[in-house]
Every structure is written in structure tokens, then in C-alpha cells.
Structure 1
Amino acid sequence: MNIYLQGLTMGLAYVAPIGLQNLFVINSALTQKRSRVYLTALIVIFWDISLGVACFLGAGALMQALPWLQKVILGIGSLIVIYIGIGLLRSKASLEGGRDVNVPIWKLAASAFVVTWLNPQAIIDGTMMLGAFRATLAPGGDLPFICGFGSASVIWFLTVSTLVSLLGSKFNEKVLNIINKVCGAVIIFYGGKLLWSFVKMMGWL
């Protein structure tokens, strides 16, 4: 359960900062009927979880094939996680830049795929972050961790869909900035834990 909760909290901190995926869901919740809002959220959830699993398993396969890579990914990954957190603390969220959600479902699904799977930065960050966490997991911890990480995507996007639909204009950029700051702090905390694990793995303490 502890590993599941670790995956859940890390997943929430990773998915919550406002990016294109969130703008898809928020724009839909502000302009579409409820059934369309939840359908949009489910599409985004599918692509988000599939990318997370691919990054997690892909990094794990590389580390099993190349044991020395485990230390490299853990070391570099911890620094990337901290960098992402600092970036969120310094960033300003904006509701501008979202894609048009008043389109056919197939086009919406394709657009959600593009901003998720064809985003090199998301793939690099996801692989390094999840790879770094996988390097610290005990045997048997992979499944509960990735289940927690996936649960975060489901909880977050369905919650955002519901709240934005209900609150409407009250869900403004000030709220988004608060979310980013909280997530930034959580991500920095986890990055610090990863860096500490790297220091111990290297035998420096």
C-alpha cells in the first residue's frame, strides 16, 4: 500500500500541472455538455496512462539489460525531477493555448495522442522520472507503483472535469497557479528522495 500511495502522489504531482492535456479537459468542461466532457477526459486518461506504462517498462527493460544504466538514470533522473519542480514553482499557468475541443471524437482522440505521445519532452521526462523511481523499488513493487501512478491520472482528469463543469468561470488562472506551486513542491520533495537514493547507491555515505 505504501508503494501504491507513493505512485499515486507522484502521479498526481506529475499530471496536475497545467499543460496541453489539462487544457483539453478544461476547455471541454467549460464549453461542452457533461457526457462530452467525460468522454474527453477518458480519452486523455487512456493516452496518459499508456505513455506512463511505456516509459516505466521501457526504462526498466533498459536497466535490466544494462545494470550500470540504473545509476545513470537514477542520478540524472533525480536532477530532472528537481528541475521540473523548480520550473513549476517559477511558472505562471495560463488557460490560453488549448486546442479546439468542438471537433469529431476521432479528431479529438488524434489530437490528444499528438500532444501526449508525440511530445519529446514528455517522453524524456517520463522515462527519466519513472526510470529513476523504478530503480529505487523493491522486488514486486513495480505493479503497485504503476497502478498508483495510473490511478492518479484517472482521479485527476475526472476530478478536473467535474469541478470545472460545476464551477465554470471560478476555475481561473489563480487556481491553476496554486496547483502548479503545490505540485512543484511535491515534485522537488520526491526529486530530493531520489537524489538521496542515488547518493546511497553510489556508496558516498
Structure 2
Amino acid sequence: MAAFSGLGFGLSLIVAIGAQNAFVLRQGVRGQHVFPVIAVCAVSDIVLIAVGVAGFGTVVESFPAVVTVARYAGAAFLLGYALLAARRALGSSTLIAEAGASVALGASVLTCLALTWLNPHVYLDTVVLLGSFASTYATPDRWFLAAGAMVASVVWFLTLGYGARRLRPLFARPGAWRVLDSLIAVVMLALALGLLLG
């Protein structure tokens, strides 16, 4: 029963339009480095869930400076990413062509790591919120809950990353890349402003 609670709770936290999901969707549509990006997201979530369930959420709450530093670093990164997406959306046909161009594996993985680990919402949601929820369960059950949340994360990222390939015919048109990059720019800007405004 705890595993199903974890599955549902994990999905409720992760299934939202955010920086990480937008990046996975974009990589999935492009068909570039999809598995490594999914692996980075899923493994990161598994680590953060384990840390939260182990009780480190209280440590994060005890040191708010850590969250503050992550907040400003994350906001700066998201603003930069929003500007790049806006540049692609508003740019010339060359920039639109670049939207579907190949990006190095290392650059994709580093971007994914930054979008994941520089986002303070990841710590608040996965470590603090999920950790607090797990603490209401007895010790054996809380790890079943954690396993359910981990499965939710893996299933979600696999579905998002590989499901996005169904959108490829749509993105054969340059205008579709403009729309996607415009949406990504708006989401990233909104998230960055949300972080800056607290």
C-alpha cells in the first residue's frame, strides 16, 4: 500500500511543466541523447528521494542558506536558458534550423544536470516534502513508499522522453520549433522570476 502511495505522490510532484520536463521533451522531439538525459533525470530523482526518505529533509530545513544559494544560482541558469530559447524562437531561419541540429552528448548531460540540481524546487519537493510525507510511515513502509516514488520518476521520464518522438512529424516544420522554443522561454522565465521573487 505504501508503494502505491509513493507512486501517486511521486507522480503528483513530477508531472508538471517545469525546466527539467521541458528539456526532456525537447530532447525527445529532437531524438538526441534521449536515454542519457532520461537516465540523468531518473537517477537524480532516485538519489534525492532516498536522501529525503533517509531524513535529510530536516537538514535542508535547518540550513536555509543552502536553499537560498540554490535559488539564485537556479534563477540565473533558468534566465540564461530562457534567453537562449527566446533567441531561437525569435531568430533567423538559421537559428530555427539549429533548433533541430545535433548537440554534443556532454553539453546535453551538463544542461540536464544543471536544470535538475540547480533547481531549489527539486530539493523542496523531493527531499523536504516527500521526506516529510515518508516520515509519517513506519521505517519498513517508508522505503516501500520511496520505491513507489522512484518507479513513478523512471516511468514518467521514459514516457516523456520516448513519447515525444510521436511529435516529430509536427516538428518537421520550422514554425513548430518557434512555438516550442517560445513556450520553453516563457516557462523558464516564469520559473526564474518565481525563484527570484521567492
**8 Å Cα contact 1:3/1:141 also seen in 2:** yes
**Which residue pairs with 2:22 in the alignment?**
23
Q: Does 1:51 align with 2:45?
A: no
Query: How far apart are residue 26 of structure 1 and its match?
Result: 0.5
State the AA in 2 paired with 1:30.
V
State the aligned residue count.
140
SS of the aligned residue for 1:136 comes to coil
SS of the aligned residue for 2:16 comes to coil
State the AA in 1 paired with 2:122.
A
**Which residue pairs with 1:123 in the alignment?**
123
**Which residue pairs with 2:107 in the alignment?**
107
Q: Which runs of 5+ in 2 are unaligned?
A: 63-83, 89-98, 172-178, 184-198
**8 Å Cα contact 1:56/1:127 also seen in 2:** yes
Cα distance in 2 for partners of 1:136, 1:97 equals: 42
Question: Any idea what the Cα deviations from partners look like across 1:93-136, whole Å, max 9, x if unmatched?
Answer: xxx95998943222222222212122223212333211221221
Q: Does 1:3 align with 2:2?
A: yes
Query: How far apart are residue 152 of structure 1 and its match?
Result: 0.6
**8 Å Cα contact 2:135/2:142 also seen in 1:** no
TM-score by length of 2: 0.59
* Percent identical residues: 28
Question: Any idea what the Cα deviations from partners look like across 1:53-107, whole Å, max 9, x if unmatched?
Answer: 2233243675xxxxxx9xxxxxxxxxxxxxxxxxxxxxxxxxx959989432222
CA RMSD of superposed structures (Å):
3.4
Query: How far apart are residue 44 of structure 1 and its match?
Result: 1.8
**Which residue pairs with 1:162 in the alignment?**
162
Query: How far apart are residue 167 of structure 1 and its match?
Result: 3.5
Question: Any idea what the Cα deviations from partners look like across 1:135-176, whole Å, max 9, x if unmatched?
Answer: 211231122111111101110011112221024449x99xx9
**8 Å Cα contact 2:10/2:149 also seen in 1:** yes
Cα distance in 2 for partners of 1:141, 1:97 equals: 43
State the AA in 2 paired with 1:28.
Q
**8 Å Cα contact 1:4/1:145 also seen in 2:** yes
TM-score by length of 1: 0.57
Cα distance in 2 for partners of 1:97, 1:15 equals: 22
- Listed as ranges, the matches of 1:39-188 within 5 Å are 39-59=36-56, 102-168=102-168, 169=170
**8 Å Cα contact 2:7/2:145 also seen in 1:** yes
Q: Which runs of 5+ in 1 are unaligned?
A: 63-68, 70-95, 177-205
Kindly tell me: are residues 10 and 118 of structure 1, through their superposed partners in 2, closer, same or farther at Cα, counting changes over 3 Å?
same
